[in-house]
Chains A and B, each alone.
Chain A
Amino acid sequence: GIQVEQSPPDLILQEGANSTLRCNFSDSVNNLQWFHQNPWGQLINLFYIPSGTKQNGRLSATTVATERYSLLYISSSQTTDSGVYFCAVSGYSTLTFGKGTMLLVSP
């Protein structure tokens, strides 16, 4: 099956800082989603981005499908951004998740 690697595994930021999270995957994909899992366990859809670039407020994402990676950018981070960020990909069926990046934003 498709392998998904996320980096870094942990990240600590001061409020207001910017960050880049990376997702590498081992095969071509038809679906790539970024999720934020909040401290209560809810998985929140951030982006559906099998290719190209999207922006939503302080967050943006870029997927370069031909090179098998995706980047999630967080600008001007806030304490509410804390949690785990997951990248998930699929070819033709099963969505496979990476192990996530745990982000802690301190005031």
Chain B
Amino acid sequence: EAGVAQSPRYKIIEKRQSVAFWCNPISGHATLYWYQQILGQGPKLLIQFQNNGVVDDSQLPKDRFSAERLKGVDSTLKIQPAKLEDSAVYLCASSHQSGGWVEQYFGPGTRLTVT
């Protein structure tokens, strides 16, 4: 079974530029998550989708971050404009259903450096 796929793996941009990340979840997984992991910390949830609807985006900085999951499969996360403090690893995860009791599986992440 293929795992969660993410691209690109690395991205370097200048502040005020825009960037987009892509995620393809495990086949059949209805729930998709985007996390931000700053160096030295654990991942923090940014947004959770159930199929193509948003379940939780309470920690997403909506003035600059946006995410969509068209057709309930792939998802993109965009930052526009980027700030220096956005430098982090962006992790995508998926699970077969929503709810606190389900196991989540993580992709390899995209390491973003904002200069």
Contacts and interface: CB of A to CB of B under 8 A. Distances in A.
A48 B45 contact: no
B14 interface: no
Contacts, number: 61
Nearest to A4: B42
B41 A35 contact: no
A90 B100 contact: yes
B25 interface: no
Interface stretch (A11-19, A37-45, A71-79): A37-45
Contacts of B99: 30, 92-93
A97 B44 contact: yes
Contacts of B105: 45
Interface string B78-115: 00000000000101000000111111111011010000
Interface in A55-107: 86, 88, 90-95, 97-100
A101 to B, nearest CB: 11
Interface residues of A, number: 25
Contacts of A7: none
Contacts of A35: 106
A48 B18 CA distance: 36
Interface in B16-48: 33, 37, 40-45, 48
Contacts of B43: 43, 86, 88, 97
A31 B41 contact: no
B45 A94 contact: yes
Given A31-B103, A91-B100, A93-B56, A40 B108 contact: yes
16 contacts: A4-B42, A31-B102, A31-B103, A40-B108, A41-B89, A43-B43, A43-B106, A45-B106, A86-B42, A92-B100, A93-B48, A93-B56, A94-B45, A95-B45, A99-B41, A99-B42
